[in-house]
């Protein structure tokens, strides 16, 4: 009986933990500027090693990149972030007024009810594709 218990515990320790990076709560708002939009989401690095978001693609967009909204005096600027570090055991939230995925050159302006298909790529090789529902502009999330 003791041997069975030891084997079960050993097998439980070998069980897959799942991918280290998780993407959740993705969404976008309908565009009020035509072929420009944004995607917001939450990234969680559950792994023991840091990773980096190195690339984003959105179907129908010529450009998708991580930006940050920054206040400069009374003006607000959008700054390209480049690769986005994800330290181990941390959560990074892309939300209005901060980090976001900026989309440019969309083949058509997204409207409420659409779904954007997003693919993220990470330095350690993980690739995650997921839908981002398009909400009415200003809707609470």
What span, in angstroms and rounded, lies between the C-alpha atoms of 133 and 72? 31
Tokens representing 81? Answer: 């972030």
Higher pLDDT, 18 or 23: 23
Tell me: pLDDT of 80 over 60. Answer: yes
Higher pLDDT, 130 or 35: 130
* Candidate CATH numbers 2.60.40.1890, 3.30.540.10, 3.40.50.2000, 3.30.360.10; the one for domain 19-135: 2.60.40.1890
- CA angle at 121 for the pair 91 and 47, rounded to the nearest 5°: 40
Cβ-count burial 77-93 (b if 16+ within 10 Å, e if not): eeeebeebebeeeeebe
Pairing outcome for strands 21-29 and 127-135: parallel
What span, in angstroms and rounded, lies between the C-alpha atoms of 67 and 98? 8
Measure the CA dihedral 41/76/66/134, to 10°.
40
The region of weakest confidence among 3-7, 37-41, 51-55, 102-106 is 3-7
Q: Is the pTM of this model over 0.75?
A: yes
């Amino acid at each position: 009986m003791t041997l069975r218990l030891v084997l079960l515990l050993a097998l439980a320790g070998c069980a897959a933990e799942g991918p280290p990076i998780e993407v959740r709560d993705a969404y976008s708002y309908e565009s009020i500027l035509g072929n420009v939009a944004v995607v917001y989401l939450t990234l969680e690095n559950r792994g023991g090693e840091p990773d980096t978001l190195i690339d984003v693609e959105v179907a129908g967009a010529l450009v998708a990149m991580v930006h940050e909204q920054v206040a400069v005096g009374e003006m607000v600027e959008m700054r390209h972030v480049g690769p986005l570090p994800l330290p181990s055991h941390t959560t990074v939230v892309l939300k209005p007024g901060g980090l976001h995925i900026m989309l440019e050159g969309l083949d058509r302006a997204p409207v409420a009810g659409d779904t954007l298909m997003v693919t993220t790529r990470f330095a350690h090789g993980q690739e995650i594709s997921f839908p981002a529902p398009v909400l009415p502009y200003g809707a609470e999330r």
